[in-house]
Structure 1
Amino acid sequence: MIFTETKLKGAYIIDLERREDARGFFARAFCQKEFEAHGLTRIIAQANVAFNAKKGTLRGMHFQFPPAGESKLVRCTRGAILDIIVDLRPESPTYLEHIAVELSEDNQRSIYVPERFAHGYQALRDSTETSYQVGEFYTPGCEGGLRHDDPRLKLQWPLPVASISEKDTLWKLLDDIEPELKRKMSV
């Protein structure tokens, strides 16, 4: 695997290191030892799959508060997505900064999302499927979210939102929750 750290410390784009021959290729998509060597959470508590029927579908911006903070390894296995992560670590020099990366069945790229980051994505094609492994179990009492259209975050989605859950439209604006967010996300 080829690990490229982003401007958000601890967040990595991971490309496959392909071994090709006449049959096609083989590549490792996850290795505990390689994750550990980069200081990344190597435990997988759950493996999830999401299917998005329509391009423009938006999921996010989701996170879990400590002590149930979750790391994620996200890959698009069919179609394409624009994946965005936001640093929610109050002590971080990149607090509230974000990165966006296209993940697709074509580039076979994945993104490692550290704990205490918000995560969301928009499907760029119909019939898009994502797979993600998370480092913590889903804990309803610890879940949180940010509005995908919060003006303070300045997230740029490439398509009009075709579908979004009611829950994701009801997250409060950062101005309304930031003191609580900082308190709960502090280490």
Structure 2
Amino acid sequence: MNVTPTRIPDVLVIEPKLFGDTRGFFLESFNQAAFQAATGLDVNFVQDNHSRSTRGVLRGLHYQLQQPQGKLVRVVRGTVFDVAVDIRRGSPTFGLWAGVELSEDNHRQMWVPPGLAHGFVVLSDSADFLYKTTDYYAPQHERAIAWNDPDIGIQWPLTEPPMLSSKDQQAKLLRDAEL
């Protein structure tokens, strides 16, 4: 696998080895030993999630105050623009964001370490988004930062306003967020 750090060095873009021919393709979406050897990370995933969304849906920027989740994310159908924001106070990259296009065609994955906010917007007609987490979902600890926070300045590839959940419509700016 090929591992590339982003502008937030511990947010990683992972490209698994793809074996393909006229019949289709094969790839290992996750192999604990290979992941640890390539990234230096010893993670334990406890939950797998699957999200399906339509074009223009923006989910995020979500994080948990307690039980922070590391996430290994990928897309198996469609295309999304995936984003991680460093919200770890004291981090040299606090307030910075990293984004990458994930699709069924490029097979990329992104590692989002615990303690970062995460979100994505769907660029295709629909997308199936899969992710492994290092801790369990805890709705009582979940918070959201506004997707369009001007201090963060994410350059979302949008041509019109996104579709947001009511929770995400009420998300706070980073400077006002509970971290």
Normalization by structure 1: what TM-score?
0.88
Cα shift at 1:36? 2.5
The reply to whether residue 164 of structure 1 matches residue 164 of structure 2 is yes
Greater Cα offset, 19-28 or 147-156 = 19-28
For 2:43 and 2:26, how far apart are their aligned partners in 1? Answer: 21
SS in 2 for 1:9: coil
Give the gaps of 5 or more residues in structure 2: none
Task: Tell me the residue number matched to 2:146.
Answer: 147
* Contact preservation (8 Å) 1:73, 1:132: yes
SS of 1:156's partner is: coil
Deviation at 1:22, TM superposition (A): 5.2
| Residues 8-61 of structure 1: per-residue CA shift (max 9 Å, x gap) | 1221101021234554332211111123332325211111111112x1110000
The structural deviation recorded for 1:69 is 0.8
What count of residue pairs does the alignment treat as equivalent? 177
Is 1:17 the counterpart of 2:10 in the alignment?
no
Question: Distance between the aligned counterparts of 2:65 and 2:42, measured in 1?
Answer: 16
Provide the C-alpha distance between the structure 1 equivalents of 2:51 and 2:145, rounded to a whole number of angstroms.
Answer: 19
How far apart are the structure 1 equivalents of 2:42 and 2:171?
28
Q: Using the aligned pairs only, state the percent identity.
A: 40
Report the AA paired with residue 135 of structure 2: E
Aligned to 2:76: 77
Cα RMSD after superposing both structures? 1.5
Cα separation, 2, equivalents of 1:49 and 1:141? 20
CA offsets 1:73-113 (integer angstroms, 9 cap, x no match) = 11111110001110112222111111110001111111010
Stretch deviating more after TM superposition (83-92 or 113-122): 83-92
Counterpart of 1:3 in 2: which secondary structure? strand
Q: Are 1:43 and 2:37 counterparts? A: no
AA of the residue aligned to 2:28: R
Match of 2:130 in 1: 131
Could you give the per-residue CA deviations for residues 122-160 of structure 1, whole angstroms, max 9, x where no partner exists? 000112111111111001222111000111110122112
3-state SS in 2 of match to 1:60: strand
Hey, what's the Cα distance between the residues in 1 that align with 2:60 and 2:42? 22
* 1:184 corresponds to: none
**Alpha-carbon distance in 2 for matches of 1:148, 1:60:** 7
Contact 1:62 1:118 in 2 (8 A): yes
In the alignment, structure 1 segments of 5+ residues that lack a partner are: 182-187
3-state DSSP class of the match of 2:114? coil
Seen in structure 2, the aligned counterparts of structure 1 residues 176 and 162 have a Cα distance that, compared at 3 Å, is closer
**Partner residue of 1:2?**
2
Q: Secondary structure at the match of 2:125?
A: coil
TM-score, length of structure 2 as denominator length: 0.91
- Contact 1:41 1:135 (8 Å CA) reproduced: no
